[in-house]
Amino acid sequence: MKLYDYFRSSAAYRVRIALNLKGLAAEQVPVHLVRSGGEHRQAAYLVVNPQGLLPALETDDGTVLAQSLAILEYLDETHPEPPLLPADAVSRAQVRAICQMVACEIHPLNNLRTMQYLKNELGHDQDTVNTWYAHWVSSGFQAIEQVIGADGYCFGSAVSLADTCLIPQIFNAHRFNVDLSPFPKVSKVEEVCGALDAFAQAHPANQPDAE
C-alpha cells in the first residue's frame, strides 16, 4: 500500500493511526501542502486524487481510495483485528457520529484551504483567522465533551475510529493555542490514547517529512 501523506494533515494523521493500530505497513508518499503553491494542486497528484486533497491510499492492486473516513472504514472492514467499530449497530452509529463531529463539522471550517481563503481572498489578518479557528474548534469540542467517555476513550473501554479522529484535532487545537481546559474528557483522550504507540508513531513530529 501507499499512503499519500503530509505530516501535518489531520486527515492523513487519522489514517496513520489506523494503519498502526492494524499493524499495517504503507509506503508514505509525501505531498507538501504549502511548497510550490501546494503539491496537492499539481498535475502529478491530481492524477492520483482529482479532488486534490489528502490523504489518498493506494491499495496493493492499485486502487486509490480518497476521503479519510472512507479509508478508515475500508481498513477496519478488510483488516478486522483489532476492531475499531463496536459490534452492534447502535454503538457503531454513535462512534461514526463522533467521527463526523470532527471530520464534517470542525475540520472543513478550519482546513488549510479554508484559512488560506480567509486570508488571501477575503483579506482577513492572521489574528482574525486564528479567532475563526478557535471558535469552531471550541464549539465542536463543547458538543464532543458531552458525548464521549470519561476514561480516556471516546466510546467504551477501547480505542475506536472516534479516537483516531479526535486525537489529530486535539493536535491542531494546540497548534492554534486553543484553550482545552473546559474539556477535561477531551484532554483525557489525549492523555490515554496519545500515549499508545500507534498514536505516538503517527504523530506529525515523527513523520519522515516533518519540518
pLDDT tens, 70-86?
999 999 999 999 999 99
| Domain-ending residue, one of 43, 58, 82 | 82
15: domain CATH number? 3.40.30.10
Give the model confidence (pLDDT) of 92-121 as tens digits.
999 999 999 999 999 989 888 898 999 999
Domain co-membership, 149 together with 189: yes
Share of the chain above pLDDT 90, in %: 91
Residues 111 and 190 in one domain: yes
Q: Does residue 209 fall inside a structural domain? A: no
57-73 residue pLDDT tens: 999 999 999 999 999 99
Q: What is the average pLDDT across 20-44?
A: 94
Q: Residue with C-alpha cell 457503531?
A: 92
Residues 33 and 63 grouped into a single domain = yes
In a domain, 123, yes or no: yes
Average pLDDT over the chain reads 95
Name the domain boundary from 65, 82, 99.
Answer: 82
- What are the strands, taking DSSP E only, across the chain? 2-5, 27-30, 56-58, 64-66
Mean per-residue pLDDT, 20-24: 98
Which residue segment(s) compose the domain that 45 sits in? 2-82
What average pLDDT does the segment 125-152 reach? 95
**pLDDT tens track for 166-186:** 999 999 999 999 999 999 999
Domain boundary at 82, 112, 133, which? 82
Q: What DSSP assignment string belongs to 49-75?
A: -TT--S-EEE-TTS-EEESHHHHHHHH
Per-residue confidence band for 37, with pLDDT thresholds at 50, 70 and 90: confident
For residues 22 and 80, give the distance between their C-alpha atoms in angstroms, rounded to a whole number: 8
* Shared-domain flag, residues 39 and 70: yes
Please determine, for residue 36, whether its predicted confidence score (pLDDT) is greater than 90. no
Judgement on whether residues 67 and 161 belong to the same structural domain of the protein: no
**Structural domain tally of the chain?**
2
How far does the chain reach from its first CA to its final CA, in angstroms?
24
Taking the C-alpha atoms of residue 112 and residue 133, their distance in angstroms, rounded to an integer, is 11
Would you state the cell numbers that stand for residue 153, as one nine-digit string? 476513550
Same domain, 160 and 195: yes
Q: How far is CA 190 from CA 1, 3, 50, 117, in A?
A: 28, 24, 34, 30
Same domain (yes/no): 131, 167: yes
